[in-house]
Chain A
Amino acid sequence: MRPISEIEPAIEQATTAPELLALGEEVLEHWLIAKGSRPTGAKSEGFRLLALHRQGAKGEPSFNACRETCRELAYHYNLVTIEPDHVDTGLRLAMMRLIASHVYYFVSGKLHVDQLGEFCCSSRDMRLNGQNDLKTEA
């Protein structure tokens, strides 16, 4: 597995939707491995990306900070692959690249500072993590 830092330039150079989707999956694999999980090949709503996100958010509600971004990546994949000749395909690919970058920046940022998304997206305190045992959505 290549270092996560090599994924950023790969996203910038990617030219197809399948490549960008695979890069998004690779970013999530990094998160799971760093957390001691084994990335599965399962799919959710037809996308491994979404299943990997779900796996990564288990017990980590702050990881939901990238849930909608992952869904947008899947949505743009569909847009590009279902209508490859659409007049907006170039724009859609450019947007897909930015969305994949966002997943990368969030996950690499969270690998750097684990609490990213704790305060806001999971509404958990950062210092007493886990002791505030109210029901969360993960």
Chain B
Amino acid sequence: MTEIKVDNKASKYKKVAYYPGCALEGTGHAYNRSTKEVGKALGLELEEVENWNCCGAMEVKNIDPKIQTYLSSRVMSQAVNAMGHDVVMAPCNGCYHNLKKAEYDLTNDQGSRDVVERISAKAGHKTYQPGEIETIHALDWIKHGIGEEGLKAKVKTSLKGLKVANYYGCMYTRPRHIFPEKDNGPGTESTSKPHFMDDLLAAAGAANVDFPLKTACCGGAHTLSDSDTSTKLVLNILKAAETSGANVIATECPTCHTGLEMHQIRAEKKFGVKTNVKILYFTQLLGVALGLSPRKVGVQENVSDSFPLLKEQGLA
């Protein structure tokens, strides 16, 4: 009798290739640290992509989008061909978005395939073929790898008392066509009202507030060229979180996180408007719920000082 191999996401995501990207080695270091710690605490394994490179981010994409496609494809090629993985997890929305975009381009555009093939040959590595690997976000990894019930079973300190506004930013869901697995029926993520972060934090005991700006523009890409627009957009997001009753905003992207923290300060300096809502990575919140100390998940590295709030809630 032939053995039937059951391939579900829970087992598939137990051990994945990890692509931290550049932000998680810099401003998003606390996100890197907390993601790894949460993975350990949940029994989910990460293997960092060997000799990874930039995903092409905005700098390369603005000069030549096909070079960005190549750069992202090389990361996927490393994970598949050098390490034998079939899933790569990118916690940064920018990296996640760019790998997804590369997958879409390689599936749909011969010109992109030609460029990637040519540069891969020149660089001396195997060309990435679309469909060889699945790119997922840290939210997918935990949501499907362990699930809400699995998470609940491991919670040591409930996040009860925290009122969370979940901010997903734009690159996790837009543009819709590069995320074919979303809006795909029960259990899948929604591009108009994403909920995976809400689900995980609720499982850890937090109360999610009804937050209408969870995917609203923060002006992130224009933060240097048009800072005032970015500050006004961010300030509005912060005010909306406070109006909805939140005492903390949970983030899942280093760029969003940094933007919210920096413009919170700039809004006070430039426009004289102070907001008190705290900003934490969702992995930091999950880490605290799993019994890790706030320092272990890098809360001290955040600009926004969340220690008083965590102490007040008995979480530090």
Q: Contact partner of A94 among B97, B222, B243, CB < 8 A?
A: B243
Q: Contact partner of B239 among A98, A116, A136, CB < 8 A?
A: A98
Does A81 make an interface contact (CB < 8 A)?
A: no
**3 nearest A-B residue pairs (beta carbon):** A109-B229, A72-B212, A121-B174
Taking the nearest CB of chain B, how far is it from the CB of A136, in angstroms? 6
Residues in B with CB closer than 8 Å to A135 are: 108, 177
Q: Contact partner of B217 among A115, A117, A127, CB < 8 A?
A: A117
Mask, B171-195, CB within 8 Å of A = 1, is 1001111100000000000001100
Summed over the interface, the residue pairs from A and B with CB atoms below 8 Å come to a total of 123
Residues in B with CB closer than 8 Å to A109 are: 219, 222, 226, 229, 232-233
Does B170 make an interface contact (CB < 8 A)?
A: yes
**Alpha-carbon separation in the docked complex, A112 to B240 (Å):** 24
Q: Do A72 and B177 have beta carbons less than 8 Å apart? A: no
What count of chain A residues pass the 8 Å CB interface test? Answer: 43
Stretch from B11-19, B57-65, B304-312 at the A interface:
B57-65
Q: Do B240 and A99 have beta carbons less than 8 Å apart? A: yes
Residues in B with CB closer than 8 Å to A48 are: none
Stretch from A14-22, A30-38, A39-47, A100-108 at the B interface:
A100-108
Which B residues, 195 to 237, have Cβ-Cβ distances below 8 Å to chain A? 212-213, 215-217, 219-222, 225-226, 229, 232-233, 236-237
Taking the nearest CB of chain A, how far is it from the CB of B87, in angstroms? 22
Residues in B with CB closer than 8 Å to A75 are: 212
**Alpha-carbon separation in the docked complex, A116 to B227 (Å):** 12
Q: Contact partner of A101 among B170, B222, B236, CB < 8 A?
A: B236
Q: Contact partner of A123 among B97, B226, B240, CB < 8 A?
A: B97
Which B residues, 73 to 111, have Cβ-Cβ distances below 8 Å to chain A? 97, 101, 104-105, 108-109
**Alpha-carbon separation in the docked complex, A134 to B97 (Å):** 16
Residues in B with CB closer than 8 Å to A106 are: 216-217, 219, 233
Mask, A52-85, CB within 8 Å of B = 1, is 0000000001001111110110011000000000
**Alpha-carbon separation in the docked complex, A94 to B192 (Å):** 22
Q: Do B232 and A121 have beta carbons less than 8 Å apart? A: no
Q: Do B65 and A132 have beta carbons less than 8 Å apart? A: yes
Given contacts A66-B217, A98-B236, 15 further A-B contacts (CB under 8 A): A98-B240, A99-B213, A102-B213, A102-B216, A102-B236, A102-B237, A109-B232, A113-B222, A118-B221, A119-B221, A120-B97, A123-B175, A125-B62, A125-B63, A134-B104
**Alpha-carbon separation in the docked complex, A113 to B232 (Å):** 14
Q: Do A113 and B225 have beta carbons less than 8 Å apart? A: yes
Q: Do B177 and A116 have beta carbons less than 8 Å apart? A: no
Q: Do A105 and B65 have beta carbons less than 8 Å apart? A: no
Q: Do A122 and B175 have beta carbons less than 8 Å apart? A: yes
* Listed A/B pairs (7) with beta-carbon separation below 8 Å: A65-B170, A95-B243, A102-B213, A102-B236, A102-B237, A113-B225, A122-B175
- In the complex, the chain A residue whose C-beta lies closest to that of B212 is A72
Q: Do B105 and A134 have beta carbons less than 8 Å apart? A: yes
Taking the nearest CB of chain A, how far is it from the CB of B21, in angstroms? 15
Residues in B with CB closer than 8 Å to A68 are: 192-193, 215-216
Does A87 make an interface contact (CB < 8 A)?
A: no
Q: Do A127 and B62 have beta carbons less than 8 Å apart? A: yes
Residues in A with CB closer than 8 Å to B61 are: 119, 125
Residues in A with CB closer than 8 Å to B63 are: 125, 127
Q: Do B62 and A126 have beta carbons less than 8 Å apart? A: yes
Taking the nearest CB of chain A, how far is it from the CB of B44, in angstroms? 28
Does A1 make an interface contact (CB < 8 A)?
A: no
